[in-house]
Structure 1
Amino acid sequence: MSASFIPKSVDNVHATLLQKIKIPKGKSNKYNITSCAIFSNGKVIFADCDNNMRLVILNTDGSFNYEFPFSKLRPYSVACIDDMTIAFSVWNSSEIYLYDIKSKIMKNSIKTNNICFGVAHRDGILYYCSKDSVAQIKDGISSTIVNLGYALRGWRNIASFGEFIYLTNNTNNSVLCFNVQGRKLWEYKDDEIIRSPSGIAVDKYGIVYVALKEKQCIVALSPDGKQVMDFLSCKECIENPLKLVYDNKRDLLLVASYDGNCAVFEIRQT
C-alpha cells in the first residue's frame, strides 16, 4: 500500500439504507441484470443481458432516464469512462465496445485476448477479466497483466482501486488482489465464508465488498485481505444480491440483483 493510504478496519464500517429501486421492465418481463456502474454525475447504468439486450440509465433519484436497446449484442459488464462514454463487454465475445450515450453512437470496439467478462475503468485504463487472465486496455491496446494459470468458471467480476485490481473467483471460492504490474498481493479463501462470490466493489479506504448470492449476503474484507465480516444480510438489503458498485465521491454502495431489484446504502467509516 502507498504511504499516503491509511487502511481502516472492517469493524468500523457502517451502512444506512437510503432507498430501494426497481429497474423498469424492458420488452420482456424477465430481467437479466449482470452489471451496474455509476457516472460521476451520480446517474447509474445497468446491463440487462439476455432477455432485453439493453443498457438502462436511472437518474440519481432512481427514476428512469433512458434505455439503449441492441438487436444483437448482449451487454454483460459495463464501466463508465466519463459522463458521456461507457465501455461494455458482451456475453461470449472477445471484444469490448465503447459507446457514446449522448449521440447514441458506437465509437469503437477493442479486441480482447479471450472471451471477456467483467470490466472496470480507472484513470484512463480499462481492466477486464477473461477465462484465464486479467488484462488492461491502454491507448486502445490490450495487454495481459496476470495469467491465472487456470480457467475461471461462473461469474467473473473485477474492480479497481488506485494501484490495485480485485477479482472474484468462483472456481475456488476466493477473492484475489493484484497490483497493476500483475503481482498477487493476497488471496482470501474460506469455503465457509466466501461461497460463489459474484459482485465486487472497493471503497476509498480499500475495504472490499463482495456479494454472495448463495449465502444471501454481502461481506466486507479488510484492505490486506486478512479480516472479513458479514456486512449486510438479505433482510437488511435485497434478496439475491449479485452486483455491487461503490461511489467514492458520495460514499454510496449500490447493490443490484439479477431480477432488477436494487438498494442504495450510505457507507460511513468511524
Structure 2
Amino acid sequence: MEFFLRKVAKFKSHSIDIHDICFVRDYTVAVALGYQNQIALVDVEKNHIFKSMNLSHTCRSVASDGQMLVIGSDEKSTLVNLNDMSQTILEGVVADRVALFKGNIYSTIYGLNKVCCHKSTGESLWTFMHEDITRPQGLTLDNNGFVYVVSTNNNCVIVLSPDGKTCKTILSEADGIKSLYAIDINRETGIMIVSSKVVIRDISDDSDDSDDSNEESYQTVFVYTI
C-alpha cells in the first residue's frame, strides 16, 4: 500500500538543515531550520511557505498546541503566539527536543540526561534525572499528562509521572527497538509511534558470529497502543 502523497515546500538553499517539524493546525506545518535561526510555516495543501520567522538562536526543535509555537535550542527557547505572531524569549528553557501540553513546555537536554517541565512564562516546574534516562531525545505526552521519553544510549522508552517524580521503563531493546530517536502519541486514538532501527542477521551465513558483515539494517517505526 502506498501512503506517499506529494512533496511540498522545496527549500532551495543547500545550506539549509531541517532539524525538526510539527503540525500546527489545519494544513499548517512548522519547520525548524536549525542554524539558519529560522522557522518556516508551510501550507501543505497549497504547497508553499507562507511565513518565515527569524529567531535569536538556533532552531533545534519545534512543537505546537495550535495556539502557541515553542522553538527550542541548547541556548534558550522562544514562544510564539500564533494569533499575533509575537515572540517571547525564554532564557531559562533549554531544549534539544520539546513538547507542549496544557500550557506547559516539556523538554529533553541530551548532554545532561535531563527531562524538564516549565510554565509558558519560562518558570521551572520540575527537572527529572534517573539512571535509566541516558542521552534523551524525543518526548511526547498522553492525555493524562504522562511524559514518554526516548532514552537513546540504552534503547529504552521511559514514562514519567505528570509531577516529574517517578519513572518506569515500558519498552527496551528486549522488545526489538534500537537506535531510538523520535516518539509521538495520537491522543485521540491512544496510538504511540517510536522510530527504531531493525537489524536482520543472515543465519545461513557460516562466518564468525563476531563478524557483522552478514547483517542488514533499516529504519522503521513501531506502533503501539497505550
TM-score (norm 1): 0.69
* Aligned counterpart, 2:88: 143
Please say if residues 196 and 222 of structure 2, whose CA atoms lie closer than 8 Å, have aligned partners that are also in contact: no
Trace 1:173-184 onto structure 2 (pairs within 5 A): 173-184=113-124
Alignment match of 2:28 (pick from 61, 81, 85) = 85
The Cα offsets for residues 207-253 of structure 1, whole Å up to 9 and x where unpaired, read as 00000111011110000111111111134253211101111111111
Deviates more, 1:196-205 or 1:67-76: 67-76
* Aligned counterpart, 1:166: 106
Please say if residues 111 and 142 of structure 1, whose CA atoms lie closer than 8 Å, have aligned partners that are also in contact: no
SS of equivalent residue, structure 2 residue 25: coil
Structure 1 residue 80: Cα displacement: 0.5
SS of equivalent residue, structure 2 residue 133: coil
Measure, in 2, the Cα distance between the counterparts of 1:157 and 1:107.
25
Deviates more, 1:95-104 or 1:229-238: 229-238
Q: For CA contacts below 8 A with separation 6 or more, give which structure has more relative contact order.
A: 1
Report the aligned-residue RMSD.
2.0
The Cα offsets for residues 148-198 of structure 1, whole Å up to 9 and x where unpaired, read as 5xxx6xx810011102110101231110011112211111112x2111000
* Aligned counterpart, 2:213: none
Measure, in 1, the Cα distance between the counterparts of 2:117 and 2:181.
20
* Aligned counterpart, 1:42: none
More strand by percentage: 1
SS of equivalent residue, structure 1 residue 65: coil
Unmatched 5+ stretches in structure 1: 1-60
Alignment match of 2:137 (pick from 198, 203, 209) = 198
Amino acid at match of 2:31: F
Unmatched 5+ stretches in structure 2: 198-217
Amino acid at match of 1:137: V
Distance 1:230 1:89, change over 3 A: same
Please say if residues 19 and 59 of structure 2, whose CA atoms lie closer than 8 Å, have aligned partners that are also in contact: no
Deviates more, 1:243-252 or 1:68-77: 68-77
Please say if residues 238 and 262 of structure 1, whose CA atoms lie closer than 8 Å, have aligned partners that are also in contact: no
Q: Does 1:221 align with 2:160?
A: yes
Distance 1:105 1:209, change over 3 A: same
Alignment match of 2:186 (pick from 228, 247, 267) = 247
Please say if residues 113 and 142 of structure 1, whose CA atoms lie closer than 8 Å, have aligned partners that are also in contact: no
TM-score (norm 2): 0.82
Q: Does 1:67 align with 2:15?
A: no
Deviates more, 1:178-187 or 1:235-244: 235-244
* Aligned counterpart, 2:150: 211
Please say if residues 25 and 66 of structure 2, whose CA atoms lie closer than 8 Å, have aligned partners that are also in contact: no
SS of equivalent residue, structure 1 residue 114: coil
Please say if residues 116 and 131 of structure 1, whose CA atoms lie closer than 8 Å, have aligned partners that are also in contact: no
Identity value in percent: 24
How many equivalent pairs are there?
201
Alignment match of 2:77 (pick from 125, 134, 157) = 134
SS of equivalent residue, structure 2 residue 132: coil
Please say if residues 92 and 115 of structure 1, whose CA atoms lie closer than 8 Å, have aligned partners that are also in contact: yes
The Cα offsets for residues 121-145 of structure 1, whole Å up to 9 and x where unpaired, read as 0131101112221220112222113
Please say if residues 166 and 177 of structure 1, whose CA atoms lie closer than 8 Å, have aligned partners that are also in contact: yes
* Aligned counterpart, 2:129: 189
SS of equivalent residue, structure 1 residue 81: strand
Distance 1:239 1:204, change over 3 A: same
Structure 1 residue 108: Cα displacement: 0.7
Distance 1:255 1:183, change over 3 A: same
* Aligned counterpart, 2:224: 265
